[in-house]
Amino acid sequence: MSSDSEIFSLAESAEKNKDYKKAEEYYLKILEKDPQNPDVNYKLAETYHNLANYNVAMSYAIKSMKDNKSVKSIDILGSCLLEVGDVEKAIMCCKQSIEIDSECYRSYYVLGRALALLGNYMESESNLLVAQRLAPDNKAVVESLRGLYQNNLKNYSKAAILTDKLKEMAFEK
């Protein structure tokens, strides 16, 4: 019988290889023995988020916060809330996450996307620029910022620069 730490390593490896169903299987195996494990509940939230099963992801994010309001749990919850269309609650989660850790790029990224949906393009730009500063090679951040410039702010020169950056990023991979 494998130890929980060995199973956890297998799950993380599966996740890294984008085999989220296998990762789910391993994490659930650990939860059978320790259902309150906040780290495993968080990893399941992340896994279900990657599988686009946002409602299930939210339930695990909430379980992972029972004893510990960690930034990563609040962050994944905010991202899921945005994906299911609860923009206001997503914004609240992102702001809470940023209060705890101002270096969490994903919170700025999700906040920027949420603000754009509400038509607050200048504040959206500000948050997406912070996300880009914190994670300059994150393709999703660059794509969101490019889309904001192209479609909402009509700043085609900045959009073109980011389009070139995306091409470079694709070429580097």
42 contacts 12 by C-beta, under 8 angstroms? no
The conformation of residue 35, written as its DSSP 8-state character, comes to T
pLDDT digits (tens, 9 = 90+) for 93-150: 999 999 999 999 999 999 999 999 999 999 999 999 999 999 999 999 999 999 999 9
Pairwise CA distance, residues 18 & 48, whole Å: 12
State the pTM of this model: 0.88
pLDDT digits (tens, 9 = 90+) for 11-41: 999 999 999 999 999 999 999 999 989 999 9
Listed in sequence order, the residues at least 6 apart from 124 whose beta carbon sits closer than 8 Å to its beta carbon are 112, 113, 115, 116, 148, 152
Give me the numbers of helices (H) and strands (E) for the chain, helices first please.
10, 0
Q: Which residue has the higher pLDDT, 103 or 67?
A: 103
Distances (CA, A) of 154 to 43, 146, 160: 39, 10, 11
The conformation of residue 21, written as its DSSP 8-state character, comes to H
Contacts 24+ apart (CB under 8 A), 77-85: 77/45, 78/107, 78/110, 78/111, 79/49, 79/106, 79/110, 80/45, 80/49, 80/54, 80/55, 82/110, 82/113, 82/114, 82/117, 83/49, 83/52, 83/54, 84/54, 84/55, 84/58
